[in-house]
Structure 1
Amino acid sequence: MDPAVAQAFAAAWPDKVRVLLAWADEPEADTQSRLIGVWLLVERRTRLSWPWKALVSPPGPVAYLGTPVIDRAHVSAVLAAMLEAVRKTPELPKLIQAGDMSEGSAVMAALEAIQARGAGHWQLLETRKRAKLTSCDDPKAFWAGSMSAKRLQGFARKRRQLGKEGELATTVAEQPAAVTAALDEFLRLEASGWKAARHSALASCPATERFTREMIAGLAERRLVLIEALRLNGAPVAMWVILLSGDTAYTWRTAYDEAYGRFSPGTLLLEDTTTRLLSDPAIACTDSCNHRDVGHQAERWPERHEVGDLLIDAGPERRLRLLLLSAREKAFRSGREAARQLYHRLRPEIERIRERLRGARPPQAQG
């Protein structure tokens, strides 16, 4: 919900950016009103909303939290006012596609109360869990307890072995100029590996790269981003881009040099990052930003952040449309997940067949 995100999205994509702002009148204060609610959305036709347009949050594929920012003392009133504003503004779509909404939050409780009053309706499409990290008294002991002694010794050995390749150091870029330089390194590092092959690296799409550069520049001006790197002879072998908001950190993106994959540089940097975040008194919680409960963070961080995807209809009573769209989306997601699980079950056999076919090929004639 940061202004830097809104401005970066508007610069990178053609979708209309819509920001719902809620204000509280304070006649006794120097100013007439105080901002108490922000919800960043974009207007777009999606698979979920088709054939209608929807207001979508989070706004893009590399944003991982769609919960609006609302003053704790006014959650229910602000959310109801936001939905009413959508309902009464003719040019706005009435469907709201809200992804990665924090489950168990005051916002979810307010939505339930609003639906009970008949002031709007919503359907829960899916819930997921992802790793998070909360503060502790002994960061070193936390990391040591995150795995068996044997695995801990194995990673310590890999760090020593990598150190034999040259000078090994961990750096943190925080100043705007340093962040800009580190971001260039990160984009090149990410584009050199498997993410580029899957076209999911930030630099794989010009719009996504522009969004990233605009957002990081805006956040860096207010010291709301840092880039941590594990470096060998000055060159990065693993990097994290970490965003900051209040007392929460977000491990937004990571990349590593696959040429050094045998040393597990990503996990080595995760150790440094984990202990540093836990040692920072200004950070109470870190969100992994993972879409699923998998990966190195899920294995090492025991706490979980539960999020849900919702479809909200702020318009007049149209329960049938809401039910049909949500049922279609649930069926699609169920089929996609079944296909993914089937692929992973069959993958070993597919690889064995490929190996046999390679072995059966006749040798090439030499000219």
Structure 2
Amino acid sequence: MISVNICSPTLDLAAPWDDLVRRASSNVFMNPAALTAANESGFASIHVLLAWDDSTGLKKLVGVWALQVRRISRLWPAVLEALPYNYAFLSSPVVDPAFVRDVIPSFLSAIRDSRSLPKVISLKSFNAEARSFETLVDALTEQGCAYLRLSENARPYATPDIGVKRSGSTRKKLRQDWNRLSAVGSVDIVNLRAADTREAFETFLKLEAASWKGARGTALLCKSADAAFARQMIAALAERGNASVALLRVDRQAIAAQVLMYCGATAYTWKTAFSHDYAKYSPGVLLIDKITDDLFSSAGIEAIDSCSYERSFMAQLWAGRRKMVDLLVDVGPGRSPTFLLEAIRQRGYEQLRQLRDGVRSWSTPANPKASK
């Protein structure tokens, strides 16, 4: 009794979404507020798959999966990308665990049957530990779909049970850095989960633009469209209590900022920035460390997703890891030319990215790794 419809994102989905995430897997990047901001601003062309349970006569939302149509050039074939917009870091669908065995195959069938959607799907940063991943692989096999596992990585992840590393050289250095920073002035941390975060988010944007990311042209303010979308998305999420900006301050001046997102019982450390003038105190790392404890001591937060990779500085702070995979899927018959072309492109891109990161590791100053 599962039905799937495909539509554009809308804030009308807010109430069914809130009900779904109370019992389903978490993915803040599928929040209708974020999706609507991306779609309305023209930042991404998003299609939302909605799975409904009709068995009781009352339609209940049991699955959401948002995908964008991506085309790297006019001559390149379009594909579906399950990271629904740039700056999203998780492609897994949000599915009620009681319905996962029915919803995932229904999602694939809906894409296959659609006349307007591409049949090749790029699944980057998919949670391989979620029930939806095992079900996805089973459904692809049962339906005779081609798929390719492109890469795997371990994402730093924290829970109260497998959370902060409480000993070791990193912990000792953090205590020293905090004490040295406290000698400079009055140090405090502010993280108000309020409806209006515009001032705090502008502080983050300025810190990021003044950092090494600004110099490299990768800060949000370096591209007006990116900054406009980010402002709209964070404002929309914060209005619903799903985003905040934590600030580390010295004498009431912000020296580090951490943008946080929330979905169900999970917090996401989306973006970090800090002042180069205070780099020797590791302010970005100090802020994450303090915020981790604050989040777990607050009501309702049971996990923190770093939105980052194994090599990030968060791996030094958190003992937990979550297995992530990148997949390429073709729900059409056989292996299409688009599937083969996209596989070649993504493998080539990954090799170039690894080469770039290797070169950067030789030229990067000591602390930029403390800012995503």
1:156 maps to a residue whose letter is R
In structure 2, C-alpha distance between the alignment counterparts of 1:144 and 1:44, rounded to whole Å? 43
The one of 297, 302, 318 aligned to 1:301: 318
| Number of the residue aligned with 1:110 | 135
Distance 1:132 1:317, change over 3 A: same
- Contact conserved, 2:127 with 2:133, CA < 8 A, in 1? yes
Deviation at 1:107, TM superposition (A): 1.6
Deviation at 1:264, TM superposition (A): 1.6
Counterpart secondary structure, 1:104: coil
In structure 1, C-alpha distance between the alignment counterparts of 2:242 and 2:138, rounded to whole Å? 34
1:16 maps to a residue whose letter is S
Deviation at 1:21, TM superposition (A): 0.8
Structure 1 residue runs without a partner (length 5+): 352-367
2:102 maps to a residue whose letter is A
In structure 2, C-alpha distance between the alignment counterparts of 1:202 and 1:335, rounded to whole Å? 23
Q: TM-score, normalised by structure 1?
A: 0.84
2:191 equivalent to 1:172: yes
> Any residues of structure 2 matched to 1:221-236 within 5 Å, and which?
221-236=239-254
1:284 maps to a residue whose letter is E
Q: Which moved more, 1:317-326 or 1:76-85?
A: 317-326
Counterpart secondary structure, 2:138: helix
- Contact conserved, 1:83 with 1:120, CA < 8 A, in 2? no
Bigger CA radius of gyration: 1
The one of 168, 177, 180 aligned to 1:161: 180
Distance 1:242 1:276, change over 3 A: same
Deviation at 1:123, TM superposition (A): 1.2
| Number of the residue aligned with 2:84 | 59
Structure 2 residue runs without a partner (length 5+): 1-29, 366-372
The one of 148, 157, 178 aligned to 1:132: 157
- Contact conserved, 1:123 with 1:323, CA < 8 A, in 2? no
The one of 13, 31, 41 aligned to 2:67: 41
Aligned-residue sequence identity (percent) comes to 30
2:69 maps to a residue whose letter is E
- Contact conserved, 2:49 with 2:66, CA < 8 A, in 1? yes
> Any residues of structure 2 matched to 1:260-339 within 5 Å, and which?
260-290=278-308, 292-318=309-335, 322-323=339-340, 325-338=342-355
Deviation at 1:332, TM superposition (A): 3.9
1:294 maps to a residue whose letter is R
Number of equivalences: 336
Q: TM-score, normalised by structure 2?
A: 0.83
The one of 199, 209, 215 aligned to 1:181: 199
| Number of the residue aligned with 1:7 | 36
| Number of the residue aligned with 2:269 | 251
- Contact conserved, 1:173 with 1:182, CA < 8 A, in 2? no
- Contact conserved, 2:159 with 2:320, CA < 8 A, in 1? yes
Deviation at 1:195, TM superposition (A): 0.9
In structure 2, C-alpha distance between the alignment counterparts of 1:152 and 1:332, rounded to whole Å? 36
Distance 1:6 1:339, change over 3 A: closer
Deviation at 1:205, TM superposition (A): 1.2
In structure 2, C-alpha distance between the alignment counterparts of 1:325 and 1:123, rounded to whole Å? 11
In structure 2, C-alpha distance between the alignment counterparts of 1:102 and 1:8, rounded to whole Å? 24
In structure 1, C-alpha distance between the alignment counterparts of 2:212 and 2:337, rounded to whole Å? 43
4+ runs deviating over 4 angstroms: none
CA shift digits 1:214-268 (9 cap, x unpaired): 1111111221112211101111111111111011110011110111112221122
Aligned-residue RMSD, C-alpha: 2.5
In structure 2, C-alpha distance between the alignment counterparts of 1:119 and 1:76, rounded to whole Å? 17
Counterpart secondary structure, 1:144: coil
> Any residues of structure 2 matched to 1:78-117 within 5 Å, and which?
78-117=103-142
